[in-house]
Amino acid sequence: MRAQRSYTGDELNSTVQIREQNLGELEDAVSQHLASLQRRACRYVGNPYDAEDAVQDALLSAYTHLDQFKGTARITTWLTAIVTNCALTQLRRRPRQPHVSLDDRLDEEGDYCLSDKLADAKPSPEVECMNVELHGHLMQSVAELSPSQRKVIQLRHLDGLTTGEAAQILGVAEGTVKAQVSRARSRLRKMALGV
């Protein structure tokens, strides 16, 4: 019976020695390779703060499971695998897409929220519909003008040319273009009012 106890004691003593040796190797590996372990974790998680957390989790796990280190590979290889797994675990815990409420305030005073910044600057469908109808009525009224007034309105307002440019294209004086534009506008006003 005593022989069995001494054998167990020797085995226990041997296990303690191996653990202490592995612990020494782990401390050396951490002191020499901590920066590279953090860089590796950062490549996975994307920011240094999360990488630091992943490395801390990995070191805690390595210390806790030091008895599982078989010694068939270098301890840095084993530690690198643990860091990689901890970084990937941290990625899995993250939500896939950040959730941001459209009603969250963007500044300290609470004046602006995200929905205000994302508001569509285009006119509403009703306004667009009214603009299309108005444009159709305007084009119908322009078609009823005399050919010279129609051409002047087209050049000045639809094509956006200056009075001088329109006069040059039509081959008339600027004063003539101004007079024709004035008469055309007056006529369009009367048509719009139904007079």
Please determine, for residue 7, whether its predicted confidence score (pLDDT) is greater than 50.
Answer: no
Q: Rounded mean pLDDT of 93-104?
A: 72
> Which one is predicted more confidently, 110 or 79?
79
Q: Rounded mean pLDDT of 175-185?
A: 92
> Which one is predicted more confidently, 133 or 72?
133
For residue 163, give Cα distances in angstroms to 43, 89, 91, 136, 146: 63, 71, 65, 25, 19
- Note the pLDDT of residue 69: 79
Chain segment 103-157, per-residue pLDDT in tens: 777 666 667 676 666 667 778 889 899 999 988 888 888 889 899 899 998 889 8
Chain segment 17-67, per-residue pLDDT in tens: 666 767 778 788 788 888 989 999 999 988 899 999 999 999 899 888 888
Domain locations in the chain as residue ranges:
14-93, 125-193
> Which one is predicted more confidently, 158 or 162?
162
- Note the pLDDT of residue 118: 67
- Note the pLDDT of residue 6: 43
User: pLDDT confidence of 95, banded at 50, 70, 90?
Assistant: confident
Q: What is the CATH number of domain 125-193?
A: 1.10.10.10
Cross-strand pairs, 113: 105
Please determine, for residue 101, whether its predicted confidence score (pLDDT) is greater than 50.
Answer: yes
% of residues, the chain, pLDDT over 90: 27
d(CA 191, CA 145): 10
- Note the pLDDT of residue 19: 64
DSSP string, the chain: -HHHHHHHHHHHHHHHHHHHHHHHHHHHHHHHHHHHHHHHHHHHHSSHHHHHHHHHHHHHHHHHTGGG--SSS-HHHHHHHHHHHHHHHHHHHS-SS----TT-BSSTT---BHHHHT---SPPHHHHHHHHHHHHHHHHHHHTS-HHHHHHHIIIIIS---HHHHHHHHTS-HHHHHHHHHHHHHHHHHHHHT-
- Note the pLDDT of residue 32: 86
In which residue are the tokens 């002047």 written? Answer: 152
**Does the reported pTM lie above 0.85?**
no
> Would 14-93 and 125-193 be classified into the same CATH topology?
no
Tokens standing for residue 92: 């899995």
- Note the pLDDT of residue 3: 45
User: pLDDT confidence of 1, banded at 50, 70, 90?
Assistant: very low
Q: Which CATH architecture has domain 14-93?
A: Orthogonal Bundle (1.10)
Cross-strand pairs, 105: 113
Tokens standing for residue 42: 């950062």
Its sign, for the CA torsion 98, 101, 106, 108, is negative
Closest CA to 152 of 115, 180, 188, 185: 180
